[in-house]
Amino acid sequence: MSDTVVKVSDLQYRVAGRAIFDGLDLEARRGRVTAIMGPSGTGKTTLLRLITGQVKPDRGRVEVFGQHVASLRKPELYALRRRMGMLFQNGALLTDLNVFENVAFPVREHARLPEAVLRQLVLTKLHAVGLRGAADLMPAELSGGMARRVALARAIVMDPELLIYDEPFVGLDPISMSVIVRLIRELNDALGITSIVVSHDVDELASIAHHSYLLSGGKVVADGSPAQLRDSPLEVVRQFMSGEPDGPVPFHYPAPDYHAQLLGKHEVGRSGDRS
C-alpha cells in the first residue's frame, strides 16, 4: 500500500485566463496532518475542489488513493468521494434538520442501517466532538464553535480515510478554536486517517501539522515542518509566517496608474477597469 494518499503533479489551472496554479507539486502522506497555507487568493480552496473532482486541471495530475481524479467516470468519482470527509468553511449544516439528523444525513444517503445501529453510530460521533448532549438542538441554537464541531462529526460519520478541512478556524473565538485544533490532531491520530488542513492561521497549524506547504504565485514556494518554514530565508515565506504587511505579497491589487485614473485617462465603470 502506497504511503502517498494525495499526489499533485505539475498542476496548471486557469480561471478567465488567470493562472491560479502554474506547475504545482505537493503530496499528503498517510496518517499525517498536511497543512496548506498561503495568502488570500492563492487558490487554497480551489485546490480542494481539484482534489475532490469538482473541477478538472488544464494540465498535470491529481491522484487520490492512486486514482487519477480527472479521468474518473461519475460512479468511480462518487465512490472515491465516499472515502473522504469534508469540513466546509462555514460548516454548511442543513438548517431544517436537528443536530442528530445533520450527522445522520450522509449515512441515510449511502447506507441502509437499522435505526438502532444508526443511532449508536451518530451518538458515538457526537460524543467524539463533545456534543452528544446537543443531539436534539437545531443549528440556529448552536454557537459558531458548536456548529463547526457538529459539521466535523458529520464529516467523520462515514469513517473516511481522508479528512479535508477548508479554513476550519475562521470566525471562531479563542476557546472554540483551541477545541477544533485539538480535535483535528486527536481524530487524525485516533482514527488513523490522513488529514489535509487548508488555512492561513499560522500558529494553529504549527501546533498540529506534520508537514506544511506555503503557496504563492501558483506554486509551492516552501514546504517542511512549521519550524523549517519559520526559518526560511525566502522573503515571501518570512512575510507570511510573521504576518508583515509589506513584502512580496502586495497590498494593492494590480491597477492602472493612480494619477492617470483620477484624471479620467482610465475610465472605471460598474464592471471594472475599461481602459
DSSP 27-72: EEETT-EEEEE-STTSSHHHHHHHHTTSS--SEEEEEETTEEGGG-
Sequence-distant (6+) residues with CB within 8 A of 123 are 100, 132, 135
Buried b (16+ CB within 10 A) or exposed e, 27-60: bbbbebbbbbbbbeebbbebbbebbbbeeebeeb
User: Into how many domains does the chain fold?
Assistant: 2
pLDDT exceeds 90 at position 102: yes
Tens of pLDDT, residue by residue over 65-93, are 999 999 999 999 999 999 999 888 777 88
pLDDT in tens, 45-61: 899 999 999 999 999 99
Q: Where does the pLDDT of residue 272 fall: very low under 50, low under 70, confident under 90, or very high at 90 and above?
A: very low
Summarised one tens digit per residue, pLDDT across range 180-210 is 888 888 888 888 899 999 987 777 888 888 9
pLDDT reading at 246 higher than 60: no
Helices (H) and strands (E) in the chain, counts: 10, 12
**How far out from the chain centre does Cα 74 lie?**
22
76 plus 104 within the same structural domain: no
Question: Residue 261 contacts by C-beta under 8 Å, 6 or more apart in sequence?
Answer: 255, 268
Question: Could you tell me if 197 and 206 are in contact, meaning their C-beta atoms sit under 8 angstroms apart?
Answer: no
- Residue with C-alpha cell 525566502? 234
- Asked if residue 89 is part of any domain, the answer here is no
Grid cell in block for residue 221: 514556494
Is there a single domain that holds both residue 66 and residue 192? yes
For the chain, give the percent of residues with pLDDT over 70: 87
Give the confidence band of 138 by pLDDT, cuts at 50, 70, 90: very high
This model's pTM is above 0.75: yes
High-pLDDT (> 90) share of the chain, %:
46
Is the distance from CB of 227 to CB of 220 less than 8 angstroms? Answer: no
Same domain, 198 and 74: yes
One domain for residues 172 and 153: no
- Note whether 229 and 241 are same-domain residues: yes
Instruction: Say if residue 256's pLDDT is above 50.
Output: yes
Residue 129 host element (H or E): none
60 plus 132 within the same structural domain = no
- Domain encompassing residue 112: 96-159
Candidates 161, 116, 140; CA nearest to 124 is 116
- Highest-confidence range of 5-9, 13-17, 124-128, 223-227, by mean pLDDT? 5-9
Same-domain check for residues 218 and 117:
no
The CATH number for 235's domain is 3.40.50.300
Give the burial class of 164: count Cβ atoms within 10 A of its Cβ; 0-12 exposed, 13-18 middle, 19 or more buried.
buried
pLDDT tens digits for 165-180? 998 887 778 888 888 8
